[in-house]
Structure 1
Amino acid sequence: MKILVVRFKQIGDAILSSVICNTLKRTFPDVEVDYVVYEHISPLFENHKYIDNVISITKEEQKNPFKYIGKVWKVTRKKYDIVIDIMSTPKSEVFTLFSLGSRYRIGRRKPKRGYTYNYKIEEPRDAKDKVDKFLKMLKPLEQEYKVIYDNNYVITLTSEEKSQMRKRMLDAGVNFSRPVYICAANSRRESKIYNTEKMKKIVERVRDELKGQVIFFYSPDEKDFIMKFYEKFEDKKDLFVNINTKSIRELAMVISNCDFFFGNEGGPRHLAQSLDIPSFAIFSPSASKKEWLSNANERHQGVEPGDVGNCEGLDYNGQYNLIDPDYVFDKIEEMSKKFIVK
């Protein structure tokens, strides 16, 4: 049996929806599972124990409809038995259009689209989080198979990759006999960025009171933001901006060598959880903790404005300002004492 899972989105969405691949592989141990993602995200899923082939959609293919259609045609010549279109957009539906012979063509029920799906999934109202929502797309398979659900999203790194990055971090001055924190000071969406003065206060307390070393990571587009944030610190001791990552997989390698992740909610935070590095996330008013802190537990926690105050009558910034940096630090300190052993 051959199964194709289509997911066009950014880091967090691709990681969370990969639980579909986990579940399919556990349900059908001999199945071949292929996962379609954007090119810049695809390195994350190399050597993934539940994914056989990662299919990349390049930027050129995204922009050029003829090249995109040609790519989809080529991919679907594999004649998949099951095609699951998580995105369910006119663009992603081309995969099921070219797979009309597939026994299961599953997508979301949306107005005026999805004509090539033979199973349309209603938007679930009872999903406990994003992961649960994605897994409900496998419901049609239950009519024929006993589906073994797996809601744990994971990223697999080799011991060699971890060791290579650890050496680079040592060369950059990181002391692994002391706690190593990694901070998401920025976000791809400007509206999700927590006040930088407040974030600065959290970082300083982590360094000074928890004796932590703090790594700031960034993509090429985020470098200017992070460097300006770094310059806010009069005392730059134990703060690192010199550990460059060339890909999202290298960022995963850095995170895997850290003791704790904190900062703005987003894809890198999901990456930390997929590597089971303890994490604490700050959620903006536009991000639902219930949905995006999937599989929340003692090791992976977060705060949103409604957790610390009454949001009624407050504008966006007013709601965001309810999150006090001392509250965030206290949570990080509590978790650090429990999960960091040096």
Structure 2
Amino acid sequence: MKILIIQQKMIGDVLTSSILFEALNVEFPEAQLDYLINEHTSPVIKHHPFINNVIYYTKKEAKSKKALFRFAQRIKKEKYDIVIDVYSKFSSNVISYISSANIRISKYKWYSAFIYTHTFADATTPKTPAGLAIENRLQLLKPILNYKPKNQTPKIYLTPEELKHSKAFLLNHGLDLLKPIYMISVLGSSQKKTYPFNYMAELLDALVIATQGQILFNYIPNQEEDAKAIYNTCKPETQKHIKFDVFGKTLREFIAITKHCTALIGNEGGAVNMAKAIDVPTFTIFSPWITKAAWNMFEDGKTHVSIHLNDVKPELYTNTSKKYLKANYKSLYKAFTPNLIVDQLKLFLEEN
């Protein structure tokens, strides 16, 4: 049997959907399990024991319908028995339809439902601590599994060599592994998902006062200017605790470095999901327009904690639509002042 899972989206999505492979392996231990993803997201599934082959959807296919159709024909030649399309995008609709797989499963969208043999509407209220991101994915397996899979945390598989190298890297840069180290997700994937710079600086000031910990920033080279702006807004005493130039140059290096940290703190996004996947505690600040229930996976109020403006100022969410919230993210972020977060952050720090 050959099964293809399609997940063309961001790193956090690709990581989260990887839970499907472990569940499929239990039911079909001899099956070939392949994963079709955007090429830049592969580091989070490297060394995954239940993924047999990774197929890359590239910029070439994304930019050209002709290239997309050629790509879909290549997939058809693989003769997959089952195709699971997690998000049901136009490109994955094309690939799923042309695949001619006997079983084609996806989320329900009225305009593409005819392509699939089974579709499922996303739930809007979580039933378990796993959260909607996990629950909505696992329901896609209902047509083909004879058992109900347990909710699982996505896992990232680091090698001993990666951990050894990252430990040496931190020691060589003067970090003390016997003292607290905090990885800070200082920037979101966009401005709409980034806690205001001056507010983040205030939280970092509070973090240093509470812990005297060592602080690392998670950013990529083209975000250096913004990361530096946050650093410059921190108090001088806080700046002494920030190792600004200590960061992973690749995604795998970032993950391995984070494994040595006491916790990851900051904006909701892929970095939070990666930290959870390597069993590092997380404190997450959600953007005011993002639905918290969709991505607050496996929160227990201690090891994994998140905060949303709706938690502390629910009156701002009366009779509002997601479209309104997204359009007014700046004013909503302005209302999400650090004093609304600090007490919960301190409780998290005490627990971890």
Q: What TM-score does the superposition give when structure 1 sets the normalisation length?
A: 0.90
Name 1:160's counterpart in structure 2: 161
Contact 1:93 1:114 in 2 (8 A): no
Name 1:269's counterpart in structure 2: 272
Name 1:306's counterpart in structure 2: 310
Matched position secondary structure for 2:149? coil
- Match 2:281 to one of 261, 273, 278: 278
Whichever residue aligns with residue 104 of structure 1, its letter is I
- How far is 1:147 from its partner? 4.1
Contact 1:162 1:253 in 2 (8 A): yes
Given the alignment of the two structures, is residue 229 of structure 1 paired with residue 230 of structure 2, yes or no? yes
1-structure distance, mates of 2:65, 2:186: 36
Given the alignment of the two structures, is residue 320 of structure 1 paired with residue 333 of structure 2, yes or no? yes
Give 5+ residue unaligned stretches, structure 1.
Answer: none
- How far is 1:318 from its partner? 4.6
Contact 2:108 2:122 in 1 (8 A): yes
Name 2:121's counterpart in structure 1: 122
More helix by share: 2
Given the alignment of the two structures, is residue 248 of structure 1 paired with residue 261 of structure 2, yes or no? no
2-structure distance, mates of 1:112, 1:89: 11
Contact 1:35 1:51 in 2 (8 A): yes
- How far is 1:247 from its partner? 2.7
1-structure distance, mates of 2:151, 2:193: 30
Name 2:72's counterpart in structure 1: 72
Matched position secondary structure for 1:40? helix
Evaluate the alpha carbon distance shift between residue 309 and residue 191 of structure 1 in structure 2; reply closer, same or farther with a 3 A threshold. Answer: same
Name 1:112's counterpart in structure 2: 111
Please identify, of 81-90 and 179-188, the stretch whose mean Cα deviation from structure 2 is larger.
Answer: 81-90
2-structure distance, mates of 1:290, 1:119: 25
Matched position secondary structure for 1:3? strand
2-structure distance, mates of 1:7, 1:313: 31
Matched position secondary structure for 2:184? strand
2-structure distance, mates of 1:94, 1:46: 27
| CA deviation profile, 1:195-229 (whole Å, cap 9, x unmatched) | 21121111122223201111012123312211222
2-structure distance, mates of 1:36, 1:220: 27
Evaluate the alpha carbon distance shift between residue 325 and residue 125 of structure 1 in structure 2; reply closer, same or farther with a 3 A threshold. Answer: closer
1-structure distance, mates of 2:170, 2:189: 25
Evaluate the alpha carbon distance shift between residue 159 and residue 26 of structure 1 in structure 2; reply closer, same or farther with a 3 A threshold. Answer: same
2-structure distance, mates of 1:172, 1:190: 31
| CA deviation profile, 1:115-169 (whole Å, cap 9, x unmatched) | 3311122333454422111111122225xx2343443211111121111112112
Matched position secondary structure for 1:225? helix
Alpha-carbon RMSD across the aligned residues, in angstroms, is: 2.1
Evaluate the alpha carbon distance shift between residue 139 and residue 126 of structure 1 in structure 2; reply closer, same or farther with a 3 A threshold. Answer: farther
Give 5+ residue unaligned stretches, structure 2.
Answer: 319-327
- Match 2:343 to one of 320, 330, 342: 330
2-structure distance, mates of 1:139, 1:248: 33
Whichever residue aligns with residue 153 of structure 1, its letter is P
Whichever residue aligns with residue 259 of structure 1, its letter is T
Evaluate the alpha carbon distance shift between residue 125 and residue 286 of structure 1 in structure 2; reply closer, same or farther with a 3 A threshold. Answer: closer
Please identify, of 70-79 and 193-202, the stretch whose mean Cα deviation from structure 2 is larger.
Answer: 70-79
Q: What TM-score does the superposition give when structure 2 sets the normalisation length?
A: 0.88
Evaluate the alpha carbon distance shift between residue 16 and residue 311 of structure 1 in structure 2; reply closer, same or farther with a 3 A threshold. Answer: farther
Structure 1 residue ranges (4+ consecutive) displaced by more than 6 angstroms after TM superposition = none
Contact 1:132 1:151 in 2 (8 A): no
Contact 1:45 1:54 in 2 (8 A): no
Matched position secondary structure for 1:98? helix
Given the alignment of the two structures, is residue 207 of structure 1 paired with residue 208 of structure 2, yes or no? yes
Evaluate the alpha carbon distance shift between residue 250 and residue 57 of structure 1 in structure 2; reply closer, same or farther with a 3 A threshold. Answer: farther
2-structure distance, mates of 1:212, 1:164: 22
Matched position secondary structure for 2:92? coil
Matched position secondary structure for 2:116? coil
Please identify, of 103-112 and 60-69, the stretch whose mean Cα deviation from structure 2 is larger.
Answer: 60-69
Whichever residue aligns with residue 309 of structure 2, its letter is P
Please identify, of 308-317 and 28-37, the stretch whose mean Cα deviation from structure 2 is larger.
Answer: 308-317
Name 1:103's counterpart in structure 2: 102
1-structure distance, mates of 2:157, 2:342: 30
1-structure distance, mates of 2:317, 2:46: 47
